[in-house]
Structure 1
Amino acid sequence: MPIDTSKEEDQSDAADRRARGEFVRGVSGFRDVIGENAAYPAEPGRYHLHVALNCPWCHRVTLARNVLGLQDSITLDVAFPNRTGEDDPAGPNLWEFAPDRLASATGAPLPECTFETATGHARRLVRDIYAAEGSEERSVPVLYDKKTQTIVSNESAEIVRMLGAQARGLGSTLSDDSLPALYPLGPAHEDLRSDIDALNAAIYVAINNGSYKAGFSGKQDVYDTAFDTYFEMLSQLKKRLRDGRSFLTGETFTEADLRLFPTLYRHDPIYYIRMKLNGARILDYPNLWRWLCRVYALPGVAESGSLLHCKQGYFGRSWNNVVPKGPIVPMPYPQAYLHPELAER
């Protein structure tokens, strides 16, 4: 079966590619689907998410939870944005639930961080949630079934899709008129789904995963290719929005918009520096900036992420743990996302 390039990348020669300086993202191992597997019916209050707010793959999932009105029916635990250090008894580079841990950016705990509450065992490490099922995986997000005490999925794109498909059964509080159809079904929407699928694949390769290929590359030529591909895709998206449409596929917010947003939300304040994507800011693309502000203004979107967690996560793991304070011009972020008119300056 050919790989779905809107979700994951080809693992062929992964070890050799990593040795040549390329960042190669692994493949998620838990791929069940709520509403399709009889073991996981769509029920309000049954499911839980383990996330880190700095992680863009988690951001997709918290976005879907919020825009679909599932905040009251899908519970949430938030890990600290930096993973464990070399001095941790369990070892380094592990996601941990540590609400009392101090952030170097503020010198204080981050109020959004929580203890782990879904398993009944108050796990400190995400690794241990997997280990209970015999898995060596350790990534977030995790969609967890509190009734069977099992992991449903840890593939963010598939979690987004199933939350959208099962939103009503999962307990969405939104009315039918305000519940977005992120991936509309039925013959009438076949062309729209094809457009969403094509956008998802292109955005994943060039933007979502492409930003990591640039930022975590180990060779100049690998970085150069990822950099060029990223900005070529931004130019294509800019042209797509040139006709005045509100969202990527027209006047309706869809899965394509949801999957692009977490990366562009991080671009100006973080990826411009950390991922070496300093070719331009999103603010330098008026159509994309207005789109970014339009999505940010949707109900639930602003609350789905945290730039403080992002800064702490991306910069707080550097050699000296110093977190940049900016940008401050034309104004601090994320407040800037409330001002689409800044693109006209």
Structure 2
Amino acid sequence: MTDQTDASTQEDQANAAQRRQKGEFVRGVSRFRNVIGDTPDFPAEPGRYHLHVALNCPWCHRVTLARGILGLQTSISMDVAFPNRTDDTDPAGENFWHFTPDRVSPLTGAPLPECTEETASGRGYRLAKDLYAAEGSEERSVPILYDKKTKRIVSNESAEIVRMLGAHANALGSTLAPDLLPDMYPADDAAADLRRDINELNEFIYVNINNGSYKAGFSSDQSVYDAAFANYFSALETLEQRLADGRPFLTGDRFTEADLRLFPTLYRHDPVYYVRMKLNGARILDYPHLWRWLCRVYGLEGVADSGSLIHCRQGYFGRSWNNVVPLGPVKPMTYPEAYRHPALARD
């Protein structure tokens, strides 16, 4: 992918097994890395591609955001997994993403309307892992970008899916007029400095915030947690100061990949990560410039419908020791309604 640095896409895998054994959360590497338009195998065509996602997953949220912001909702179909993975009572075993729209949510007492069956393969797979098994892979993760014509997985790396959707949005069937279509990673020579800025932000956000939140929440080593906590809040302060000059987005006047990649984590912070990831140093509401940025992005066309805090609450707290989902926060108001009120944050 053009100008994409590995450090902004995946974690260093050196001594990964030993680090996990000591209690550190180490994110694995996605293995399907094909690119739409790169070879004749996966041409950029409207109606051909499909996403398998879970709305509680922040990596999936990146691609649902791109789909919404780029006006691809009608040309790229989508299946949504239930937010809780299988447990040890499931015949297939535990920890698998599954497409079971009739399953009742313990949080709402009813099936979640966003959840679907698996529709792209033509086989109605119940588990995401079955899509991989059909190609001889043991992977099990989402998101999956899938080619409905050849019945093949294109990619399961969220950063690269976002990049290719942006690069080929018109050819893929965006409903937006060309002059309204966001160019989140401009490829022209005149934008070299902007791309460099985006790359640096992508790496900074991935290491300290996107992946950093998981190191804080899912590592069982106190020193790993301490470092992740410190880096996370230091990074928030850096971004708060970056926005203090009045710029609407991280690189200036335009919404870019850097904004898209920051949003899923900050969207989850106050109502979920503050408690579940033990990131209770501050709320985003306590950072006035970041809060107003968060509200500004939430208000963009296609953003609010790209995620679900019900799925997030159930998915994250459903993996906690007692499976009980906290009901707050309720002050100054409930979320996500709070994201419609930038004035809640005060300088």
TM more than 0.5: yes
- Pairwise TM-score range, normalised by the shorter structure: over 0.9
- Distance between the aligned counterparts of 2:268 and 2:66, measured in 1? 18
Structure 1 residues 89-141: Cα deviation after superposition (integer angstroms, max 9, x where no partner): 00000000010111111111100000000000000000000000000000000
Question: Aligned to 1:143, which of 127, 142, 145?
Answer: 145
Q: 2:259 aligns with which of 253, 257, 261?
A: 257
| 2:91 paired residue among 85, 89, 102 | 89
Moved more, 112-121 or 98-107: 98-107
Q: Hey, what's the Cα distance between the residues in 1 that align with 2:208 and 2:298?
A: 22
**In structure 1, distance between residues paired with 2:130 and 2:344:** 45
- The 5 Å alignment of 1:108-257 reads 108-257=110-259
Kept in 2: contact 1:23–1:216 (CA 8 A):
yes
Contact 1:105 1:316 in 2 (8 A): no
The 3-state SS of whatever aligns with 1:235 is helix
Alignment partners' CA distance in 2, 1:251 and 1:293? 16
CA contact (8 A) 1:266 1:307 kept: yes
Partner letter of residue 326 of structure 1? G
* Runs of 4+ off more than 6 Å: none
Q: Return the alpha-carbon distance in structure 2 between the equivalents of residues 30 and 305 of structure 1.
A: 24
Q: Please tell me whether the aligned partners of residues 70 and 166 of structure 2 are also in contact (alpha carbons under 8 angstroms).
A: yes
Q: Separation in 2 of the partners of 1:37 and 1:23?
A: 35
Supply the AA of the counterpart residue of 1:5: A
Structure 1, unmatched stretches of 5+, are none
**Structure 1 SS opposite 2:8:** coil
User: 1:104, 1:321 within 8 Å by CA — same for their partners in 2?
Assistant: no
Alpha-carbon separation, structure 2, partners of 1:267 and 1:159: 24
Aligned-partner Cα distance in 1 for 2:190–2:7: 25
1:309 pairs with one of 289, 301, 311? 311
Deviation for aligned residue 1:177: 1.4
Match of 1:331 in 2: 333
For the residues of structure 1 that align with 2:250 and 2:67, how far apart are their CA atoms?
20
Q: How far is the alpha carbon of 1:205 from its aligned partner?
A: 0.2
Given that 1:50 and 1:79 are in contact with CA atoms closer than 8 Å, whether structure 2 keeps it comes out as: yes
Q: Once the 2 structures are TM-superposed, how far is the Cα of residue 3 of structure 1 from its aligned partner?
A: 6.9
Identity, % of aligned pairs?
72
Provide the aligned C-alpha RMSD in A.
Answer: 1.0
Whether the 8 Å CA contact 2:5–2:199 is kept in 1: the answer is: no
Quick check: 1:104–1:316 contact (8 Å CA) kept in 2? no
Task: Report the AA paired with residue 271 of structure 1.
Answer: Y
User: Is 1:3–1:9's contact at 8 Å kept on the other side of the alignment?
Assistant: no
Check conservation: 1:104, 1:322, Cα contact below 8 A: no
Cα distance, 1:249 vs structure 2: 0.1
Matches of 2:221 and 2:305, distance apart in 1 = 37
